[in-house]
Amino acid sequence: MARYIFITGGVVSSLGKGLASAALGALLQARGYTVRLRKLDPYLNVDPGTMSPFEHGEVFVTDDGAETDLDLGHYERFTGVSARRTDSISAGRVYSNVLEKERRGEYLGKTIQVIPHVTNEIKDFLSIGEDEVDFMLCEIGGTVGDIEGLPFFEAIRQFAQDLPRGQCIFMHLTLLPWLAASGELKTKPTQHSVKELRSIGIAPDILVCRSEQPIPETERAKIALFCNVRPDAVIPAYDLKSIYEAPLAYHRVGLDRAVLDAFRISPAPRPDLRRWEDVLDRLNNAEGEVRIAVVGKYTRLEDAYKSISEALTHGGMANRVRVQAEWIDSELLEGEEGIHRLDGFHGIVVPGGFGERGTEGMIAAATYAREKKVPYLGICLGMQLAVVEAARNLAGIEDAGSEEFDHEAGAVRFTPVVYHLKEWVQGNHKVERKITDDKGGTMRLGAYTAVLAPGSKISEVYGGATEIEDRHRHRYEIDARYRDRLEEAGLLFSGMSPDGRLPEAVELRDHPWFIGVQSHPELKSKPFEPAPLFADFVRAAKELERMV
């Protein structure tokens, strides 16, 4: 049976619970243990799939098609363990499940209450796969004291009571603010946060304290005394230059040791940290720099493209160069002068997105990359708009466009080379969708296979592979009816679905590096295993940088 570690947060949000959880998972792996990480979110959305990127950042997609919180991306990048649908749950999903059971009569006419029905639903979720790993790390979103989070805190309190003694610990992240005017590091917010946690029946075993200043031993002792934890279980967490320093940084201050001590595991296996030492060596000893323009719709919030950002960093590690990613709002490129914002870049990425806003700027970026021979990586919408650009400017389909941008009243005013996908095959069954369907969970989601054309650039990138599998999240597809016309114009359809109906990858024949993919390869990229497309894209950008 797995040992459980519950990670909670206090004082303020955005302290880095997800990063601390991921780093701890990596450290436990380094000591030879198996781990799985989970996220419990108190918001009432069923999942983040219909939330604006400006609200919640990136939507991370799992192999089995779940739309989840971006923290699951951190978990995968640090541990290499593929997340599953059962690794993410929200209050909205919990309440939805409870109400569906009530409608079916599964509660036998009982009055439905938060305790025990909602808390039992959460506990059932926590129990899934408990015999598969050595440690189950469960992060509770939000901050202790939030009204939305109370059912989750009550559920984990009950869950810990249900487990045998010594099978569960609680780790709490707090903030130690520095008051510059008085030159003091304040512990009172941490004391109050722990008091709030203890008032609902949870006593933390480990405190991780975020601070901009070194925490003196006297202050650590004070925190330990007032919060009733061991002094060596008060773990400092300082700001880092890179998130990939976190495993080694937390190891140096004894987080993994404190966790094993809390479980009374002694003697503990020695950690093998060579993987993370290599990651930091590649990160800190770069032998050059490339500038990459990320032309997107949600550039005001970098978290909207979190996996893109990290995959570019991983590509830089693979080539021992530092990637300087610069975020450019695609609307700024709409106009003759705006396109010159791309001058001086060694590569252009056009990521996914939804809706018409800014799409002409993305098409202009594809034109620029094609004409200037700048490496181009189009992902999802970035691939679709690269095809629209080629249709307009190479194949002579001047009114080429996407059905996504004009499907009202049935009046099509352009040639839809991108169309709304109404049916497709997933596994052994056919999926059907309509434009009028609910938005949540109705896209082509999860891992799908692409068959690659032998001798193509993308096949070369994947070591000559003829089949690859990556995750998808989209409603619209390239219309394969235009394939012959586009290929005659120089745009090769280098990846197709196994049934030959859905284009999965395109590339320009007469271009050093111009590839578009319908999938999201960034979601599977890791610092110790970079996504092949990103690694080779950065290699091509590095070559261009040397030529300039």
Dump pLDDT digits (tens) for 278-299: 999 999 999 999 999 999 988 7
> How far, in Å, CA of 311 to CA of 302, rounded?
13
Residues 207 and 245 both lie in one domain? yes
pLDDT in tens, 501-523: 999 999 999 999 999 999 999 99
The domain containing residue 417 runs over which residues? 286-547
Question: Stretch 107-136: mean pLDDT, rounded?
Answer: 95
Residues 222 and 338 both lie in one domain? no
Please report, rounded to a whole number, the percentage of residues in the chain having pLDDT higher than 70. Answer: 95
Question: Stretch 151-168: mean pLDDT, rounded?
Answer: 96
CA 210-212-213 angle, to 5 degrees, is 110
The pLDDT score that the predictor gives to residue 175 is 95
Q: How many CB atoms lie within 10 A of CB 390?
A: 27
Residues 272 and 290 both lie in one domain? no
Residues 455 and 324 both lie in one domain? yes
Residues 11 and 28 both lie in one domain? yes
Question: Stretch 81-107: mean pLDDT, rounded?
Answer: 95
Residue with tokens 């791309």: 342
pLDDT in tens, 426-482: 555 566 666 555 555 578 899 999 999 999 999 999 999 999 999 999 888 999 999
Residues 293 and 274 both lie in one domain? no
> How far, in Å, CA of 176 to CA of 451, rounded?
53
> How far, in Å, CA of 318 to CA of 339, rounded?
30
Which of 279, 310, 341 is a domain's end point? Answer: 279
> How far, in Å, CA of 68 to CA of 446, rounded?
11
Residues 257 and 331 both lie in one domain? no
* CATH (domain of 239): 3.40.50.300
Half-sphere exposure at residue 117, Cβ-oriented, CA atoms within 13 angstroms: 17
Residues 378 and 243 both lie in one domain? no
* The total number of structural domains that make up the chain: 2
Residue 204: pLDDT over 80: yes
Catalytic residue numbers, as ranges:
380, 520, 522
pLDDT in tens, 328-359: 999 999 877 789 999 999 999 999 888 888 88
Residues 336 and 259 both lie in one domain? no
Residue 137 pLDDT level (bands cut at 50, 70, 90): very high
pLDDT in tens, 138-154: 999 999 999 999 999 99
With contact defined as beta carbons under 8 Å apart, do 389 and 371 qualify?
no
> How far, in Å, CA of 461 to CA of 465, rounded?
9
Q: Give 161's DSSP letter.
A: H
Which of 228, 252, 279 is a domain's end point? Answer: 279
> What is the value of pTM for the model shown?
0.92
> How far, in Å, CA of 414 to CA of 398, rounded?
9
**Of the candidates 326, 332, 315, which has an alpha carbon nearest to the alpha carbon of residue 348?**
326
> How far, in Å, CA of 479 to CA of 387, rounded?
10
Token representation of residue 512: 């050093």
Residue with the larger pLDDT of the pair 392 and 475: 392
Residues 24 and 113 both lie in one domain? yes
* CATH (domain of 471): 3.40.50.880
**Of the candidates 105, 73, 104, 103, which has an alpha carbon nearest to the alpha carbon of residue 88?**
73
The pLDDT score that the predictor gives to residue 406 is 66
Residues 246 and 298 both lie in one domain? no
Which of 221, 250, 279 is a domain's end point? Answer: 279
Residue with tokens 């938005």: 439
Token representation of residue 489: 């114009």
Residues 294 and 349 both lie in one domain? yes
> How far, in Å, CA of 401 to CA of 419, rounded?
9
User: Rounded to the nearest 5°, which phi and psi values hold at 332?
Assistant: -70, -15
Q: Which of 258-267, 301-310, 486-495 has the lowest mean pLDDT?
A: 301-310
